[in-house]
Amino acid sequence: MTQCTWYLRGHGAISHVSACVKHGLRVVQLWREPGIYPRYDCAKHLESIKDRVLRDDLESHSRKTTDFDKWVDNHLAYRSGEVWLDLFPLHAAATCSQLLGHAVLRRLMTEPSRVCHDDLWLVYELGFKVALQDGVAIHQALRDLQELPAVRVTVQKTLSISLRTFSRNIAAWTKR
């Protein structure tokens, strides 16, 4: 074994978690299972990977933990801060960060959905940085997304309605 002490914690079972804050290592996917119930049958899967774990044959690379990683870790440990995202359940807040990250990336590249799985942490971090700001920054990220030609042509009316509704909600949240 390496100098890291292995311990079982449920954080890795959450799809938004991509790094261990304690060890500064990328989370390794231990198994793939398409079925929802067999996916969480740890006893079945741990037996099949036991030898790889004991040999420390899991390929994990160090990665600097981001502010989003630290926020998720604190949120899971019921340590909330002064972030307005703490008002929401983890999945909703993390999804908001992910979507805002996609909005930011959409201005930088044509297909942010092509970001490989190992680099998804960057999408969350970009969105989290926007979400840490006020409602104006969030509104601007969504407004920038609306200004893209493809978005303007296909969903102008729907997005405008969504932006107005979202802006009202953001304004209400930031006034709390």
Q: Which residue would you say has higher pLDDT here, 59 or 71?
A: 71
Q: Provide the mean pLDDT of the chain.
A: 73
Paired tokens of 69: 């990683």
**How far, in Å, are 77, 103, 149, 158 from residue 154 at the CA level?**
42, 16, 9, 9
* pLDDT higher than 50, residue 1: no
Q: What is the pLDDT of residue 155?
A: 43
SS3 string of 48-77? HHHHHHHCCCCCCCECCCCHHHHHHHHHHC
**How far, in Å, are 109, 120, 164 from residue 117 at the CA level?**
16, 5, 32
Sign of the C-alpha dihedral computed for residues 17, 22, 28 and 34 taken in this order? negative
Q: 115: which DSSP letter?
A: S
Per residue in 47-57, pLDDT tens? 888 887 777 77
Per residue in 115-153, pLDDT tens? 777 788 888 899 899 888 877 878 887 787 777 665 444
**Cα–Cα distance for residue pair 6/105, rounded to 1 Å:** 35
Query: Is residue 67 very low, low, confident or very high in pLDDT (cuts 50, 70, 90)?
Result: very high
